[in-house]
Amino acid sequence: MLRTAYRSLWQNAFAERWVGTFRHELLDHVIVVGDGHLRLLLASYVAYYNRERLHTVLGDSPDGRPSEARPSPSAKAAALPRVGGLHHRYTWRQAA
């Protein structure tokens, strides 16, 4: 195992990128009220990040989540809240 120097961001770019993403997409929008709350937020965000979040471009879906084509012209987009409603996954629903 190769150790990185303290406060040397350039030595561990992948970890720093993930921490920055976590901070910008979640912690900058939420007031954390304790250690247990932070752990709950982290678990929820990691599940969202690995299972549902598009990482680069449309069509770059995580494994197990295929891109959905619009089933009919009358179908409407519906938001499915994730990470306590801070993020959403969108899917098609038939209009009533």
pLDDT at 25: 87
pLDDT at 5: 73
| Mean pLDDT per 10-residue section of the chain, whose length is 96 residues | 69 81 90 94 88 67 69 85 84 79
Quote the tokens at residue 27: 């912690």
Q: What are the structural domain ranges in the chain? A: 9-93
Three-state secondary-structure class, residue 46: helix
Report the predicted TM-score, pTM, of the whole model to 2 decimal places. 0.65
Q: Whole-angstrom Cα distance, residue 30 to residue 40?
A: 12
Q: Whole-angstrom Cα distance, residue 96 to residue 87?
A: 25
For residue 33, give Cα distances in angstroms to 1, 30, 48, 85, 93: 35, 9, 21, 18, 36
Is 92:73 a contact under the CB 8 Å cutoff? no
